[in-house]
Amino acid sequence: MATSFNTVVISVFFLVTCIFVRFSHSVAPIFTGLPITLNVGENENTNRILYTLTVTDPDGDSFTCSATIDTGSFFQIIRDPETAEWKLLTKSPSFNANTAPSYTITVTCTDLHRQRESFILICACTPTECIYFTSQATVSKNALNTGSGIQIFDVNAVDDSGDVLTYYMTVSPSTVTSFQIDASTGIVTTTRELKYETQSTTTLLIRATDGKIYVTEKLVVTLTNMNTVPTITNLPATKTVSESIAGGTTLFTLSTYDPDSGATKTMAFSLASAASASHFTLDSNGIFKLATGKSLDYETTTFYNVSFTVNDGMATGGPYILLLYVENDNEPCSFDRTMYYASTSEGAAGSASMSPGFIVSDPDAGATWTYHLYNANNSDRFTINSSTGSTMGFAVNYDIDNNVMPSKVILTVLCKDNGGSTGVIKTGSTQITITITDVNDNTPTFSASSYTIYADQYDSPGSVLGSLTVTDIDSGSNALYTCTATSTSANFATYSINSDCSIYLAKTISFDYGTTVTYIAKAVDQGTASLTGTTTVNIVYRLSGTTTVTTTTTTTQYTFFSRAENIAVFSLLLITALALIAVLLYICVQWCCGSRACDWFRPTNRPTSPTKVKPYTPETPVTPAESITSIAYKEENLPPSQPYRSIRYHNGIPALNGWL
Ligand SMILES: *[C@@H]1O[C@H](CO)[C@@H](O)[C@H](O)[C@H]1NC(C)=O
Ligand SMILES: *[C@@H]1O[C@H](CO)[C@@H](O)[C@H](O)[C@H]1NC(C)=O
């Protein structure tokens, strides 16, 4: 051939025609990364990798590839069992650049649906060019004791023309980083101790080039005595926990496996967010817990994606994913306050006058609840609107008078939910302080419907003749009352019934014994819409029995005359007095009968000496009944006993004169 052909160049042109053949919904495999030109030496060996096809099936169907060569049989298409790639290799070639400078190869890949994609190779060759190196080498290494930087293979290629060679390497799987090749020497070394390598078989595609042709050989590195990557053996894919579990609860205990003796395993976990990760803890025994003080809440987070790893100091097993689902529990309803307050007045059964203003919430979607009174503190005396809780009232006639029922009650109020998703009814509680105020519903009542009070000749203005007893069982101002009195009797101004319901002699009596003065006494309480009790008071003026006085006197005289000297003095005084009287009588008879009628014997019903009782001057002026001013007065605040009142005795029994 012409000198222009002294270099045989086998040029392979890949003309790619993508022919999509569609059957039904399927798409044929597609070639990419083309066209490409490969220069191959005339003296090339058999099984030399010329080209790795990049072909994929968009449907994910598996497919097979084959080649059709226009002349000869020096090429083959083979699927690499390690990498699953389809490769174009030489097959017992006997290239001759003069007689067959080029070849046309049609590669066809067919998927399950019998669809195919084809492309055409055109080869042109130049002679006497080849790069030689050992083909299909396999290297085995002890992973445990192969250090970093150790040579595991020397490509040691030779170029026919003595050209300088350059080396490249691709690694499969590409994740393996334990090997490297020196571009100028072709020496493959380890980049790290192989105990860290977890891939037992690695395919190195080593490429040598002199700048004109490219030769690729496959080197398979297998490792023995590898470190076993530790594993977590018991992690389920999912786990469901109740949102109600307490902080510190163990969620899971990890089991790990590492057959290597002396392996120290360290477990770790991670979550997408640090905030979520802070919810959990994992200790050196593999115990995975909800962190102390943390809680789960379905309404906030329904699941956690937890990733676990285990490391033995050389290799990391995992990640193992656990989807931790949070189960929606029925959570209790709750009140917004721990104590509410309401006030109402005494009321009849069935009346409902309190609006407690309960505010209740429940975290569960669609939750409803009802209101109840916890059975304590006589809660059965009260009612509550069970569906709304908006009103409360009385179940009984509520009466605080006379302390029959308390005026302040603390009740426990419950909300009960509908059971939510679990059907387990949950209860929330609060308390309410109810203050029940008094209603003026009791009339002040006198202890008798009529009274008879006595005044006698010994009473002087200011004397207390008696007191009226009044009862009002209401409380507070409703129980305070004042007395007033009216009278149509003559002489009504002689006596006084005061606001404190005591009866006084107001002025000197100027009428006869046996005279009765009658009053209508009223007790009026201070309630709004005051109530009035009424009684009749008869005050009788009577002569206090002389027997009484005599008895007293006799008793006194007995004591006096029991002494002899007293008798003597008395006799002396008596004689003197009698003499004096006799003289006075004589003078009087002489004077009176001589000039006027001797009428001084005329009888009288007035006591000659009304001063046996010490005259009393009241500390405060006593006002007659008609001008009583209101004085707050309560039963228990009875006025102190009257120190100025001397009790007279009648037959040894205290005279009931005016005292009730
Ligand atoms: C959980 O997280 C992993 C990555 O850590 C992710 O691949 C996976 O899809 C996640 N699973 C879910 C259900 O989110
Ligand atoms: C009953 O009343 C008392 C106070 O009088 C209160 O301390 C207590 O909590 C109440 N009990 C309930 C169950 O509400």
State residue 47's pLDDT score. Answer: 84
Q: Measured in angstroms, how far is the CA atom of residue 321 from the centroid of ligand 1? A: 7
pLDDT band at 124 (very low <50, low <70, confident <90, very high): low
The phi and psi torsions of 632 (rounded to 5 degrees) equal: -60, 130
Mean local confidence (pLDDT), 621-636: 39
Domain boundary among 562, 588, 613: 562
Domain boundary among 184, 207, 224: 224
In tens, the pLDDT along 383-407 reads: 999 999 999 999 999 999 878 899 9
> Which two tokens mark 497?
């019934």
The phi and psi torsions of 564 (rounded to 5 degrees) equal: -65, -45
Q: How many CB atoms lie within 10 A of CB 109?
A: 23
pLDDT at residue 478 is higher than 70: yes
For residue 412, the ligand 2 atom closest to its alpha carbon is 14
Same domain (yes/no): 44, 65? yes
Cβ of 124 below 6 Å from ligand 2: no
Q: Measured in angstroms, how far is the CA atom of residue 374 from the centroid of ligand 2? A: 10
Q: Could you give the CA distance from residue 52 to residue 80 in angstroms, rounded to a whole number?
A: 10
| 521 in a structural domain | yes
The phi and psi torsions of 208 (rounded to 5 degrees) equal: -115, 140
Q: Could you give the CA distance from residue 43 to residue 64 in angstroms, rounded to a whole number?
A: 30
Cβ of 376 below 6 Å from ligand 1: no
Cβ of 408 below 6 Å from ligand 2: no
Any idea which residue has 């609060």 for tokens?
Answer: 430
- Domain span at residue 141 reads 131-224
Ligand 1 pocket mutation pick from 271, 305, 306, 324 by most atoms within 8 angstroms of CB? 305
pLDDT band at 583 (very low <50, low <70, confident <90, very high): confident
Any idea which residue has 């009730």 for tokens?
Answer: 660
Range among 5-9, 25-29, 257-261 rated most confident: 257-261
Task: State the first-to-last Cα distance of the chain, in angstroms, to the nearest integer.
Answer: 163
| 182 in a structural domain | yes
Peptide bond preceding 35: is omega within 30 degrees of 0, i.e. cis? yes
* Residue 66 backbone zone (phi > 0: left; psi -120 to 50: alpha; other: beta): beta
Q: How many CB atoms lie within 10 A of CB 555?
A: 12
| 637 in a structural domain | yes
Distant-in-sequence, close-in-space partners of 472: CB < 8 Å, separation ≥ 6? 442, 443, 444, 445, 478, 479, 480, 481, 523, 525, 531, 533, 635
> Which two tokens mark 262?
């002396």
pLDDT band at 634 (very low <50, low <70, confident <90, very high): very low
Cβ of 323 below 6 Å from ligand 1: yes
| 15 in a structural domain | no
Q: State the Cα angle at 87 between 81 and 92, rounded to 5°.
A: 100
Q: Could you give the CA distance from residue 471 to residue 480 in angstroms, rounded to a whole number?
A: 9
Same domain (yes/no): 554, 628? no
Cβ of 538 below 6 Å from ligand 2: no
Least confident of 5-9, 162-166, 208-212, 599-603: 5-9
* Residue 84 backbone zone (phi > 0: left; psi -120 to 50: alpha; other: beta): left
Same domain (yes/no): 449, 409? no
For residue 323, the ligand 1 atom closest to its alpha carbon is 13
pLDDT at residue 195 is higher than 80: yes
Distant-in-sequence, close-in-space partners of 563: CB < 8 Å, separation ≥ 6? none
The phi and psi torsions of 18 (rounded to 5 degrees) equal: -90, 115
| 483 in a structural domain | yes
Q: What share of the chain is helix, strand, coil (3-state, %, to 5)?
A: 10, 35, 50
The CATH number assigned to the domain holding 165 equals 2.60.40.60
Same domain (yes/no): 51, 155? no
State residue 658's pLDDT score. Answer: 37
Question: Using the 8-state DSSP alphabet, how is residue 396 labeled?
Answer: S
pLDDT at residue 548 is higher than 60: no
In tens, the pLDDT along 267-323 reads: 999 999 888 999 999 999 999 999 999 999 998 999 999 999 999 998 899 899 999
| 579 in a structural domain | no
Question: Using the 8-state DSSP alphabet, how is residue 230 labeled?
Answer: P
Same domain (yes/no): 454, 426? no
State residue 605's pLDDT score. Answer: 45
Domain boundary among 224, 251, 273: 224
Same domain (yes/no): 610, 542? no
State residue 427's pLDDT score. Answer: 95
% residues pLDDT > 70 (the chain): 78
Ligand 2 pocket mutation pick from 381, 405, 410, 432 by most atoms within 8 angstroms of CB? 410
Residue 122 near residue 12, CB atoms below 8 Å? yes
Same domain (yes/no): 184, 327? no
Higher pLDDT, 440 or 100: 440
Same domain (yes/no): 247, 357? yes
State residue 58's pLDDT score. Answer: 85
| 246 in a structural domain | yes
Same domain (yes/no): 216, 237? no
Same domain (yes/no): 236, 358? yes
For residue 409, the ligand 2 atom closest to its alpha carbon is 5
State residue 494's pLDDT score. Answer: 92
Q: Measured in angstroms, how far is the CA atom of residue 322 from the centroid of ligand 1? A: 9
> Which two tokens mark 413?
């109020």
For residue 307, the ligand 1 atom closest to its alpha carbon is 5
pLDDT band at 575 (very low <50, low <70, confident <90, very high): confident
Cβ of 273 below 6 Å from ligand 1: no
Q: Could you give the CA distance from residue 441 to residue 473 in angstroms, rounded to a whole number?
A: 9
Number of compact structural domains in the chain: 5
If you take atom 2 of ligand 2, which residue's CA is the nearest one?
A: 410
For residue 431, the ligand 2 atom closest to its alpha carbon is 14
Cβ of 410 below 6 Å from ligand 2: yes
pLDDT at residue 115 is higher than 80: no
Q: Give the closest residue to 8 by CA, choosing from 60, 44, 52.
A: 44
If you take atom 11 of ligand 1, which residue's CA is the nearest one?
A: 305
Question: Alpha carbon 152 to chain centroid distance?
Answer: 67
| 598 in a structural domain | no
Mean pLDDT, the chain, rounded, equals 80
Same domain (yes/no): 346, 220? no
Least confident of 284-293, 423-432, 563-572, 575-584: 563-572
For residue 377, the ligand 2 atom closest to its alpha carbon is 1
| Count of residues making up the chain | 660
pLDDT at residue 143 is higher than 70: yes
In tens, the pLDDT along 332-349 reads: 999 999 999 999 999 899
Same domain (yes/no): 492, 353? no
What pTM did the predictor assign?
Answer: 0.50
Cβ of 185 below 6 Å from ligand 2: no
